[in-house]
Amino acid sequence: MLFARIFTLYPEFFPGPLGKGLYGKALAEKIWKLETINIRDYATDKHKTVDDTTYGGGSGMLIKPDVLANSLDKNLKTKEKIIYLSPRGKLFNQEMAKKISNEETVNLICGHFEGVDQRVIESRNIEEVSIGDFILSGGESAAFVMLDAIIRLLPGVLGNETSTEEESFENGLLEYPQYTKPQIWEEKTVPDVLLSGDHAKIKDWRLSQSEAITRDRRPDLWQKYKKN
């Protein structure tokens, strides 16, 4: 079972979509567990202040180190993985999702404002992770994305466990096109090779399609694939 904790200023965002469908069923079956920690509950003043101005100037505010550290220290056990969703972090990918899915516990910190005090990151051995080269108003959306990618890899979540083996990124390529019934739709037909029953030809066609799509859309992945 994967135990996920979310440290957030907006706990009402969770579980949200993660509590529905396959993930909701997996939650009920205790394949994974979710706990939300309201960072604001660990502020010490009567106004529940969680942020303050930055030293050195600047227009933004930072989440205070004492408040965030207090929320972590009172909820975590030793050596648990802690991730701060940050645009300057290591890029999240399928390989990282697989590694995290093997953890017993993962703690995700949802940042706001201009981020969090650097001293907390360093003192609590927090790993910074980004879901892409763009800026969000808060880390909650990023946490949804990460958990979505991770939970579906847990044994028992997906009905067909082999369905993840041929997905994009599993072999370093983007996924090939797929088709279903009707065979003819708006005068467009399913490629003949997929109707041939020749599994070797189908495999070759899918590989060639994956290669062409990756080469066109993700030159970075294509170069990495060629090197391997």
What CATH number corresponds to the domain at position 94? 3.40.1280.10
Domain that holds residue 77: 2-151
Is residue 41 domain-shared with residue 127, that is, in the same domain? yes
Residue 147 has pLDDT above 70, yes or no: yes
- CB 168, CB 185: distance < 8 Å: no
DSSP conformation class of 179: -
pLDDT tens figures, 150-164: 999 999 999 766 556
Is residue 176 domain-shared with residue 203, that is, in the same domain? yes
- Measure Cα distances from 4 to 101, 146, 226 in Å: 10, 11, 36
- CB 172, CB 221: distance < 8 Å: yes
- CB 27, CB 33: distance < 8 Å: yes
Residue 105 falls within a domain, yes or no? yes
DSSP conformation class of 126: P
pLDDT tens figures, 126-144: 999 999 999 999 999 999 9
Query: Rounded to an integer, what distance in angstroms lies between the CA atom of residue 107 and that of residue 102?
Result: 14
pLDDT tens figures, 74-117: 999 888 999 999 999 999 999 999 999 999 999 999 999 889 99
Residue 38 falls within a domain, yes or no? yes
- CB 98, CB 37: distance < 8 Å: no
Residue 110 falls within a domain, yes or no? yes
